[in-house]
């Protein structure tokens, strides 16, 4: 194994970022370091991975709800039914994505402690990107790695079949 040439400056690790978009009053871009501005939560999880069996991890990061509340979803926060029609779609760097309802994370409804992880098993995720962590899920399908975007918006109301022409 050869040593790197000491005269070549080290290339800084490029921090990954995610975009907050959709029906938000304050859309924007956040890095893992930016996510550390919120109070960190710590969860120990076990989930079944279809390809490698049970996974045991400790994640740290802010609650998804707190970050999205800061971004200002465009609903009337005082109207529960308005909040309950919003969706959250999280996309990862590998093309994987997951959809949640706002009601899952809302304190008046599911109050799920879903995280935007900034650390996994004590390792900072700055270079990898943050990870969506859904501690209540038995399988890891909604764990999204290297988050690239989080979209927030209302669920479209399907046309009323009774009023549709035959």
Looking only at the bridges linking them, the beta strands covering 17-22 and 115-117 are unpaired
Give tens-digit pLDDT for 93-142: 999 999 999 999 999 999 999 999 999 999 999 999 999 999 999 888 89
Annotate 72-98 with b (16+ C-beta within 10 A) or e (fewer): ebebeeeeeeebebbbbbbbbeeebbb
Q: Answer for the pair 97, 89: CB distance below 8 angstroms, yes or no.
A: yes
Question: At 117, is the secondary structure helix, strand, or coil?
Answer: strand
Quote the pTM value. 0.85
What tokens appear for 15 in the block? 């921090």
Instruction: Give residue limits of the domains in the chain.
Output: 17-153
Give Cα separations from 22 to 35, 67, 68 (angstroms): 19, 14, 11
| CA 89 – CA 142 distance, rounded (Å) | 11
pLDDT tens, residue by residue, 1-22: 333 444 444 434 456 899 999 9
Tens of pLDDT along 45-54? 998 887 888 9
| Pair 68, 20: CB distance under 8 Å | yes
Domain with residues 17-153, CATH architecture: Alpha-Beta Complex (3.90)
Q: Single out the residue of 112, 12, 5 nearest to residue 63, CA to CA.
A: 112
């Amino acid at each position: 194994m050869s040593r790197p040439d000491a005269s070549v400056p080290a290339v800084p690790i490029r921090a990954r970022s995610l975009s907050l978009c959709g029906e938000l009053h304050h859309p924007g871009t956040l890095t893992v370091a930016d996510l550390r501005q919120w109070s960190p939560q710590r969860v120990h999880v076990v989930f079944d991975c279809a390809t490698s069996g049970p996974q045991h991890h400790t994640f740290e990061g802010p609650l998804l709800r707190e970050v999205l509340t800061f971004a200002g979803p465009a609903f009337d926060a005082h109207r529960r039914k308005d909040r309950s029609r919003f969706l959250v779609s999280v996309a990862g760097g590998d093309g994987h994505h997951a959809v949640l309802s706002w009601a899952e994370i809302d304190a008046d409804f599911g109050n799920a402690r879903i995280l935007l992880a900034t650390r996994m098993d004590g390792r900072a995720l700055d270079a990898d990107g943050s990870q969506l962590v859904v501690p209540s899920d038995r399988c890891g399908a909604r764990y999204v790695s290297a988050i690239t975007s989080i979209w927030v918006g209302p669920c479209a109301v399907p046309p009323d079949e009774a009023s549709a022409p035959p």
